[in-house]
Structure 1
Amino acid sequence: MKSHTPEPTTDLRHFHRIVFKTDAILTGNGKTWPCAILDLSLKGCLLRFNDVWLEDEAQTFLLTITLSEDVAIQMELQMSHMIGNTVGFKCIHIDLESISNLRRLVELNLGDNQILERDLLALSGVGHE
């Protein structure tokens, strides 16, 4: 019996996403939106809101993910795409403490330091023209 091996697909993503389902708070322009994180990477996130997203795509937002009483991740975001109440955001700024917390979270979820190191190199732009 001959097995069928699918042809490899090319994933152009430079960052590995982790499925990380938790609640978070998004703020911007004097408003606050509770949201659910569907996935998270070093370069952005996918969020789900209770209602259809109607905000300006050029606006900057602050995402706060509380991991524990003492540990949080804050990312400054800008919308990249939207389908109904599910919105993708790209990270435009993250402070050092938050990136350390996010790095540890990604490391724990990926289970492979080499993948994380590749993501960090892609984030820094090393090796890309």
Structure 2
Amino acid sequence: MHSTENNDSRHFHRIVYTAEVLLSCKEKTWHCEIIDLCLKGCLLRFELPWEEDPKELYTLTLRLSEQVQIKMELSVTHVVGSKVGFKCEHIDIDSISELRRLVELNLGNSTLLERDLLALIE
């Protein structure tokens, strides 16, 4: 796990966090892998090219431990084959607290995290 370095003007620092997650929508569920993660969304990799409805809301479940999980409601922002970018549309207070802690641990810099949180509020 580490933060990705890039020279673009992203408002949110992305962390590389390799883990399997579940994505669901209505009665469908997909196992996928997180490529990177930030406070505002994530990039996921699926086994097959993504051909699902881009207008639906999806629920991501990332289990950090037996007792701790992060749940986010996501919308599709872009698709490139089996890699799909998602924007966070809703996250509960417990999940955002866990995500904040995960990002802070990986950034190693509370100033960068505070900047991300301010950008999220705006």
| TM-score of the two chains, using structure 2 as the length reference | 0.93
1:111 aligns with 2:115: no
Q: Deviations over 1:22-72 (max 9, x none)?
A: 000000021000000000000000000011110111100000000000100
Q: 4+ residue stretches of structure 1 with deviation over 6 A?
A: none
| TM-score of the two chains, using structure 1 as the length reference | 0.88
Q: Deviations over 1:73-112 (max 9, x none)?
A: 0000000001100000000000000000000000000000
Structure 2: distance between partners of 1:78 and 1:99:
17
SS of the residue aligned with 1:21? Answer: coil
SS of the residue aligned with 2:24? Answer: strand
Which sections of structure 2, spanning at least 5 residues, go unmatched?
Answer: 1-5
Structure 2: distance between partners of 1:38 and 1:106:
14
Give the equivalent residue in structure 1 for 2:70: 73
Could you tell me how far 1:11 is from its partner in structure 2?
Answer: 2.1
Q: How many percent identity over aligned positions?
A: 58
Select 1:30's aligned residue among 3, 27, 30. Answer: 27
SS of the residue aligned with 1:119? Answer: helix
Give the equivalent residue in structure 1 for 2:17: 20
Give the equivalent residue in structure 1 for 2:3: none
The structure number with the bigger radius of gyration is 1
Could you tell me how far 1:10 is from its partner in structure 2?
Answer: 5.5
Select 2:60's aligned residue among 51, 60, 63. Answer: 63
